[in-house]
């Protein structure tokens, strides 16, 4: 499941930016992209209280600018054990992020010491 999750995450900003096609054309690009990255993922993984904005659901939200959302240029960092390196790519156009109703990104900057998330398991 890790590789599937990683693939889905790596494509998310490209889908929102309209650089990846979606298989459905009945909806406009932004609403369809949001559905593919939220409600559809929640259904696939059996996450019964996520993927939609409804009373009683987890308040996991992302505010983004559809005109500027996309990938930032990759940057090499050396933060792995024994000085190992990896490439990281930030996001552009992400204004704010809330996990379980708590802000973790505000004004496009991470909020210090904000760790409201928890391991999510499929509902039975």
pLDDT tens digit string along 40-90?
988 998 888 888 999 999 888 999 988 888 888 889 999 999 989 999 887
- Structural domain for 9, as ranges: 2-110
Q: Phi/psi at 63 (nearest 5 deg)? A: -100, 125
DSSP the chain: -HHHHHHHHHHHHHHHTT-S--S--SS-HHHHHHHHHTHHHHHHTT-TT-SS--TTS---EEEE-TTT-EEPPPEEEEEEGGGEEEEE--EESEEEEEETTEEEEETTEEPTT-----------
The pLDDT assigned to 124 comes to 62
pLDDT at 12 over 90: no
Structure tokens at 81: 């054990």
In a domain, 80, yes or no: yes
In a domain, 119, yes or no: no
In a domain, 124, yes or no: no
Distances 26 to 30, 36, 105 between C-alpha atoms, Å: 12, 13, 32
pLDDT at 22 over 90: no
The pLDDT assigned to 17 comes to 59
Exposure of 111 by Cβ count < 10 A (0-12 exposed, 13-18 middle, 19+ buried)? middle
Q: How confident is the model at residue 96 (pLDDT cuts 50, 70, 90)?
A: very high
The pLDDT assigned to 16 comes to 64
In a domain, 47, yes or no: yes
Q: How confident is the model at residue 11 (pLDDT cuts 50, 70, 90)?
A: low
The pLDDT assigned to 15 comes to 63
Mean pLDDT of the chain: 79
In a domain, 38, yes or no: yes
Note the pTM of the prediction, 2 decimals.
0.67
CA distance 89 to 109: 15
Tally the domains of the chain: 1
In a domain, 20, yes or no: yes
In a domain, 62, yes or no: yes
pLDDT at 23 over 60: no
């Amino acid at each position: 499941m890790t590789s599937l999750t990683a693939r889905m995450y790596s494509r998310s900003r490209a889908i929102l930016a309209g650089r990846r096609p979606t298989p459905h054309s009945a909806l406009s690009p932004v609403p369809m992209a949001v559905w593919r990255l939220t409600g559809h993922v929640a259904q696939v993984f059996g996450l019964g209280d996520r993927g939609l904005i409804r009373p009683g659901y987890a308040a996991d939200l992302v505010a983004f600018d559809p005109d500027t959302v996309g990938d930032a240029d990759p940057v090499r960092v050396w933060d792995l054990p024994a000085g190992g390196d990896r490439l990281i790519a930030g996001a552009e156009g992400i204004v704010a992020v809330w996990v379980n109703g708590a802000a973790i990104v505000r004004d496009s900057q991470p909020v210090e010491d904000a760790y409201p998330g928890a391991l999510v398991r499929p509902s039975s």
